[in-house]
């Protein structure tokens, strides 16, 4: 039955992404909030719901390895696959402030996850390698600081005369409803796709880490993919880029923070290596935007490089898993 839900899951996902983008764009215009900030918050939260659901439920089912692998794999997929495909569809011009702040912050938070996982000083157990409750609280604290920065930045760019009563009309509830329904649809569609994919692969004798960084990571990144591609098609580059970067930050701080607060998330050698690769991927994206041929822009050529790196990552991951099991 779960396998049969794959096809309707895709339709629900694409339709939900359309509603989410349309509603978010209308909210941005009505509330005088930039599309980038909407992408970094509302859209990013909506498209991160599948990861949150999996990471909350996985430890209770004895699948803690799957939870952390899903976050790492999803962030790698978001950066390499989604931004790569979006750049192939259209050159992505990224604001200088986004490069200096959000994308740089993405690199720092990715590195912090590796440091927290390997740091023994503040662990509840001196022999534990992974993310525990204390680490989760640290990540959550950074998440609330991030939200404060985003909304404070948004408020500082608006004046009282921009927030006139005429903006708060009946279109706002309708737009907000589109965002909510769209977020629910992409989450449900993503869940169906994941369930179908896991049913298809249940007969394969592979680790939770492999399934997490590949099948589940790709499945949970499909909402980001659908949302970003549709945003690019509509010419809303800020939402496309903000959605990916915001989703990565939500995964690292919000999803991982809540998951670790509820249950310790242990790292094995393979997951730690994947986490280090995640830091490298975030750094490469920053380097491309700072010193690339087209500064502050991801060209089709750079999108091809990102996609090539993703294919290389998948090949190496599958090859290493076969070597381990053989």
Whole-number pLDDT of residue 198: 65
Q: Which domain holds residue 78?
A: 3-325
Residue 263: phi and psi, rounded to 5, are -160, 140
Report the pLDDT averaged over residues 80-92: 91
CATH of the domain at 125: 1.20.1420.30
Residue 206 makes CB contacts below 8 A (sequence gap 6+) with 321, 325
Higher pLDDT residue, 219 or 253? 253
Please give the C-alpha separations between residue 77 and each of 9, 34, 35, 244, in angstroms, as whole numbers.
20, 26, 23, 10
Q: How far is Cα 47 from Cα 188, in angstroms, rounded to an integer?
A: 11
Count up the domains in the chain and report the number: 1
Residue 132: phi and psi, rounded to 5, are -110, -170
Residue 184: phi and psi, rounded to 5, are -65, -40
Identify whether the C-beta of residue 175 lies closer than 8 Å to the C-beta of residue 27.
Answer: yes
Mean per-residue pLDDT of the chain: 79
Query: What percent of the chain stands above pLDDT 90?
Result: 24
Task: Check pLDDT > 80 for residue 315.
Answer: yes
What is this structure's pTM? 0.80
Of 248, 241, 238, 231, which Cα lies nearest the Cα of 19? 231
Give the range among 82-86, 290-294, 310-314 with minimum mean pLDDT: 290-294
Higher pLDDT residue, 212 or 265? 265
Whole-number pLDDT of residue 309: 96
205-250 pLDDT per residue, tens: 667 678 778 877 887 787 788 888 888 888 878 778 888 888 899 9
């Amino acid at each position: 039955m779960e396998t049969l839900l794959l096809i309707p899951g895709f339709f629900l996902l694409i339709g939900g992404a359309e509603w989410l983008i349309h509603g978010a764009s209308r909210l941005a215009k009505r509330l005088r909030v930039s599309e980038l900030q909407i992408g970094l918050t509302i859209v990013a939260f909506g498209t991160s719901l599948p990861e949150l659901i999996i990471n909350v439920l996985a430890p209770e089912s004895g699948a803690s390895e799957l939870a952390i692998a899903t976050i790492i794999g999803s962030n790698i997929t978001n950066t390499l696959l989604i931004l790569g495909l979006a750049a192939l569809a259209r050159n992505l011009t990224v604001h200088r402030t986004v490069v200096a702040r959000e994308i740089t912050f993405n690199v720092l938070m990715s590195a912090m996850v590796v440091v927290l996982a390997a740091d023994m000083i503040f662990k509840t157990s001196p022999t534990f390698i992974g993310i525990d409750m204390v680490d989760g609280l640290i990540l959550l604290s950074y998440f609330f600081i991030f939200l404060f920065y985003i909304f404070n930045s948004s408020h500082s760019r608006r004046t009282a005369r921009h927030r006139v009563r005429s903006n708060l009309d009946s279109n706002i509830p309708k737009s907000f409803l589109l965002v909510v329904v769209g977020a629910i649809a992409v989450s449900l569609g993503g869940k169906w796709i994941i369930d179908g994919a896991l049913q298809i692969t249940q007969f394969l004798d592979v680790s939770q880490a492999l399934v997490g960084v590949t099948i589940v990571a790709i499945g949970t990144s499909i909402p980001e993919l659908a949302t970003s591609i549709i945003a690019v098609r509509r010419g809303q580059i800020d939402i496309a880029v903000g959605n990916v970067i915001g989703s990565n930050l939500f995964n690292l701080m919000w999803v991982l923070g809540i998951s670790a607060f509820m249950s310790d998330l242990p790292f094995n050698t393979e997951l730690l290596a994947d986490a280090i690769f995640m830091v490298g991927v975030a750094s490469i994206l920053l380097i491309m935007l700072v010193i690339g041929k087209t500064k502050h822009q991801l060209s089709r050529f750079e999108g091809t490089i990102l996609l090539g790196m993703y294919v290389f990552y998948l090949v190496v991951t599958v090859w290493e898993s076969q070597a381990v099991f053989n």
